Amino acid sequence: MASIGQAPSLKRRDPPAGREGDQLIITPLGAGNEVGRSCVYMSFKGKTVLFDCGIHPAYSGMAALPYFDEIDPSTIDVLLITHFHLDHAASLPYFLEKVCSYIRVQRYFNY
């Protein structure tokens, strides 16, 4: 979905035999070596968390989005937005509407 580069695919990845759930797998879908497009997919012991859903402020359109097409959204247990800056939360509406419209949304705010 986003443009530049190619992240390794996480779709249907099977854990190594005998090590299921023993490894913390961290995969940046954006912001790996840049400012902006913060989105990190983490998997541990059969659970997955997607941290942030930001855009890259220097790009527009699909190029500004994280590499959502590299994951299977149905595997995400929790989507956590760390704070509401553009580079951490601005692609959330796109993700919820286009990528995984079936997810139940619950909001927690500390203010």
pLDDT in tens, 59-69: 999 999 999 99
Task: Determine contact, residues 47/37, Cβ cutoff 8 Å.
Answer: no
* C-alpha to C-alpha distance for 66 and 23, rounded to whole angstroms: 24
Q: Residue 83's domain spans which residues? A: 25-99
For residue range 23-53, what is the model confidence (pLDDT) as tens digits?
999 999 998 788 899 999 999 999 999 999 9
* C-alpha to C-alpha distance for 16 and 26, rounded to whole angstroms: 16
For residue range 70-106, what is the model confidence (pLDDT) as tens digits?
998 888 888 999 999 999 999 999 988 876 666 666 6
Indicate whether 77 belongs to any domain: yes
Indicate whether 74 belongs to any domain: yes
Indicate whether 84 belongs to any domain: yes
Indicate whether 10 belongs to any domain: no
This prediction has a pTM of: 0.72
Q: What total number of domains does the chain contain?
A: 1
Task: Determine contact, residues 41/29, Cβ cutoff 8 Å.
Answer: yes
Indicate whether 19 belongs to any domain: no
Indicate whether 42 belongs to any domain: yes
Which tokens belong to 41?
Answer: 């997919």
4 falls in which pLDDT band (50, 70, 90)? very low
Alpha-helical (H) ranges within 1-111 are: 86-89, 92-94
